[in-house]
Structure 1
Amino acid sequence: MPTILRSLILGAAMLATPALATSRDTPEMRLEKMLAGRVAGKPVDCIDLSSASSSTIIDGKAIVYRVGSTLYVNTPRSYPQSLRSDDVLITRTFGSQLCSTDVVHTADRLSGFPRSPVFLGKFVPYTKPKAPAR
């Protein structure tokens, strides 16, 4: 019986290893990887939320919205420390745009318990540079 238990523990540890390796990345490293090969554009006040296909929370740092091939990075004006990548992002808008004057909330994924409000900042677009014409 102890051999089976050891085998199960070893198997579980091996399965968890890739997950642990990615969780070692700092928030700055995660953001840097997402933006690799992209160029920052001029910050904008609003994005079309109905066109956003995904949003990613970078722990204590930023929210990244994907709109088409563009990534918009929003560094909140206040309470960025309450951003956690395993939380659920709750967004309430009036209309189809999400703007730098809006407030979003996060909630714990398991308990549903709300966290601090997050006051958004400007959205910085990151795009892949166009290939040079031949």
Structure 2
Amino acid sequence: MKRVLAAAALVATLVTPALAARSDPDAELAALLKGRVAAPPVRCISVSPNDNSPIIVSGRAIVWRSGSRLYVNRLRARAEALDDDDILITEPFGSQLCRNDQVRPLSRMSRIPKATLILGEFTPYVRAGAK
């Protein structure tokens, strides 16, 4: 019994800092944007099947990568519905996602779509010193 308790305490000691870092969306977004500067927001971004999947920052934003740029979209409302383990359902018109387009997060566990979310403007972030 003492070994089980000692093992549980060891696991809690190792896992707790990792969960704390993961659960702070502001820190996660800051780490993702480290070394980058914001450019003026844009209304639309091009998306292609070759681009990486969007990165969901729980409760804060959705980030798309296009080449060396990161485009951060802070949703117009209900960003708290986002979870970094969700699957994002997008239905772009043509090859672009634009402000006011709708997206739906889908919980991996329940496979039930959450409420529709409305995209805001996309803020491009480029590496400091890059043009």
Q: Structure 1's 78 and 6: CA in aligned 2 closer, same or farther, altered over 3 A?
A: closer
Q: Matches of 2:76 and 2:125 in 1, distance apart? A: 19
TM-score normalised by the chain length of structure 2: 0.83
Larger of the two Rg values belongs to structure:
1
- Using the aligned pairs only, state the percent identity: 43
Query: What's the offset of the Cα at 1:23?
Result: 2.3
Q: Matches of 1:29 and 1:11 in 2, distance apart? A: 25
Counting only pairs closer than 5 Å after superposition, residues 60-99 of structure 1 correspond to structure 2 as 60-99=59-98
Alignment size in residue pairs: 129
Query: What's the offset of the Cα at 1:5?
Result: 4.5
Q: Do the aligned residues in 2 keep the contact of 1:64 with 1:72 (CA within 8 Å)?
A: yes
**CA shift digits 1:22-75 (9 cap, x unpaired):** 324x21111111111101001111111105323111111110111111110001
Q: Matches of 2:80 and 2:7 in 1, distance apart? A: 37
TM-score normalised by the chain length of structure 1: 0.82
Aligned position for 2:51: 52
Describe the SS at the equivalent of 2:108: coil
CA RMSD, 1 decimal? 2.0
User: Counterpart amino acid of 1:35?
Assistant: L
Q: Matches of 2:2 and 2:89 in 1, distance apart? A: 47
Q: Matches of 1:34 and 1:104 in 2, distance apart? A: 22
**CA shift digits 1:78-108 (9 cap, x unpaired):** 2212111121111111211111121000011
Q: Do the aligned residues in 2 keep the contact of 1:40 with 1:127 (CA within 8 Å)?
A: yes
Describe the SS at the equivalent of 2:52: strand
Q: Matches of 1:81 and 1:18 in 2, distance apart? A: 22
Counting only pairs closer than 5 Å after superposition, residues 1-134 of structure 1 correspond to structure 2 as 2=1, 5=4, 9=8, 12-13=11-12, 16-17=15-16, 19-24=18-23, 26-50=24-48, 52-130=51-129
Regions of 4+ moved over 3 Å = 2-19
Q: Do the aligned residues in 2 keep the contact of 1:100 with 1:122 (CA within 8 Å)?
A: yes
Q: Matches of 2:28 and 2:97 in 1, distance apart? A: 23
Uncovered stretches (5+) of structure 2, i.e. residues with no partner: none
Q: Do the aligned residues in 1 keep the contact of 2:75 with 2:118 (CA within 8 Å)?
A: yes
Q: Matches of 1:62 and 1:33 in 2, distance apart? A: 13
